[in-house]
């Protein structure tokens, strides 16, 4: 149940909608200027780290002649799908351009982030409208975006996930409105109960009803939205003020980029080492736990280096470029 990567990505998309929306709230410039600055800063925030990570990964695969034998034992079949052949120039270029994302499987969500950024300021503008018709229009747009994900779940990488960003945009406004409604109606639900129900919605949907109804993932997204709103309030807001969590948030993107290549390469090393190969059969679970812990620390170390050497500089550079061209 807890090995649910889709839940983590859903939370990440919705949280991106919240954070990016709040950042745009501080920009009072006209839409063309706001749009241009947002795109430039978003590009330099995301793309350089992806390029460096992918080039280093491909260099390691080519230089050390790493090819997946497709016979990983005691592990998910997922690990047998990747790197069956050495990456060639065409594969590297198409993955750098995010036209394909199979060299680093997690970059499909980077592609989603990049494409959604193209129209995110417009969604932000709609979500912040404040007139009599605004709630109706905002609700219709949300339902339309959810509907598109339902009727065309395989409609490319991006379409099924757009509503999650928009849902994040609506959380600050509609979360407060719903809280006020419950208070007005004297409907009391304890915070622990809400958190528990949200976590159940996030984690259980994939295991219980996967593929059995149109619109799979919507319940998970709604649960994530409620959980994020509750944690943003006074009762849980302290969580977002923790210094350690803020630091983790800074490095989270690079951590996300690096965690799969590092984990896969570690599994590859185990399966090609005769000593460890024997341990895989005799102590598979214990060895998997050790590998997970080591890979987390290794990914965090790479994330720290990536943030300081690439991401942070990209953020500053993007901010300077945006200010220069859209001041």
| 79-118 exposure pattern, b = at least 16 Cβ within 10 A, e = fewer | beebbeeebeeeebeebbebebbebbebbbbbbbbbbbbe
What are the 10-residue block averages of pLDDT along the chain, 327 residues in total?
A: 67 92 87 89 96 96 88 66 90 95 92 94 91 89 87 68 93 77 66 83 67 67 89 66 76 93 85 63 72 89 95 95 85
CA 39 to chain centre: 18
Residue 16 lies in a domain: yes
Residues of the domain holding 214: 5-241+312-325
CA distance 300 to 251: 8
| pLDDT single digits (tens) 91-116 | 999 999 999 999 998 999 999 999 99
**Does residue 175 sit within a domain?**
yes
The reported pLDDT for the residue numbered 120 is 94
Tokens of 245: 């969590």
Residue 291 maps to a domain: no
- Residue 20's CB: how many other CB atoms inside 10 A? 22
DSSP 77: G
Dist. CA 35–CA 53, nearest whole Å = 28
Q: At what angle do helices 191-209 and 218-232 cross, to 10 degrees?
A: 160
Please report whether residue 79 resides in a domain: yes
Q: Is 291 exposed, middle or buried (0-12, 13-18, 19+ CB in 10 A)?
A: middle
Distance CA 45, CA 316 (A): 9
Summarised one tens digit per residue, pLDDT across range 183-228 is 666 667 777 888 888 888 888 766 565 555 555 678 889 999 988 8
Length of the chain: 327
**Structure pTM?**
0.87
Question: Which token pair is 259?
Answer: 């965690």
Counting Cα atoms < 13 Å in the Cβ hemisphere of 87 gives 26
320 inside domain: yes
Q: How many domains does the chain have?
A: 1
């Amino acid at each position: 149940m807890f090995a649910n990567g889709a839940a983590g990505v859903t939370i990440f998309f919705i949280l991106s909608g919240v954070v990016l929306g709040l950042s745009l709230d501080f920009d009072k410039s006209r839409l063309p200027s706001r749009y241009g600055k947002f795109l430039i800063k978003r590009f330099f925030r995301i793309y350089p780290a992806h390029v460096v990570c992918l080039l280093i990964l491909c260099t390691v695969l080519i230089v050390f002649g790493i090819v997946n034998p497709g016979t990983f034992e005691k592990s998910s079949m997922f690990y047998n799908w990747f790197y069956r052949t050495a990456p060639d120039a065409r594969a590297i270029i198409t993955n750098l351009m995010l036209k394909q994302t199979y060299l680093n499987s997690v970059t499909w969500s980077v592609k989603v982030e990049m494409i959604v950024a193209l129209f995110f300021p417009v969604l932000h503008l709609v979500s912040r409208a404040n007139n009599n018709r605004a709630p109706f229009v905002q609700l219709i747009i949300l339902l339309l975006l959810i509907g598109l994900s339902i009727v065309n779940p395989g409609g490319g990488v991006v379409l099924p996930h757009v509503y999650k960003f928009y849902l994040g945009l609506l959380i600050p406004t509609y979360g407060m409105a719903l809280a006020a409604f419950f208070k007005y109606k004297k409907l009391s639900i304890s915070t622990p109960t809400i958190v528990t129900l949200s976590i159940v919605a996030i984690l259980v949907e994939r295991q219980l009803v996967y593929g059995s109804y149109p619109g799979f993932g919507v319940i998970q997204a709604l649960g994530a939205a409620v959980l994020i709103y509750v944690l943003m309030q006074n009762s849980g807001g302290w969580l977002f003020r923790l210094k350690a969590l803020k630091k983790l948030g800074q490095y989270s993107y690079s951590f996300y980029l690096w965690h799969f290549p590092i984990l896969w390469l570690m599994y590859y090393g185990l399966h090609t080492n005769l000593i460890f190969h024997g341990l895989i059969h005799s102590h598979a679970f214990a060895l998997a736990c050790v590998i997970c812990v080591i890979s987390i620390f290794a990914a965090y170390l790479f994330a720290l280096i990536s943030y300081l050497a690439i991401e942070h500089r990209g953020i500053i550079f993007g901010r300077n470029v945006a200010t220069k061209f859209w001041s």
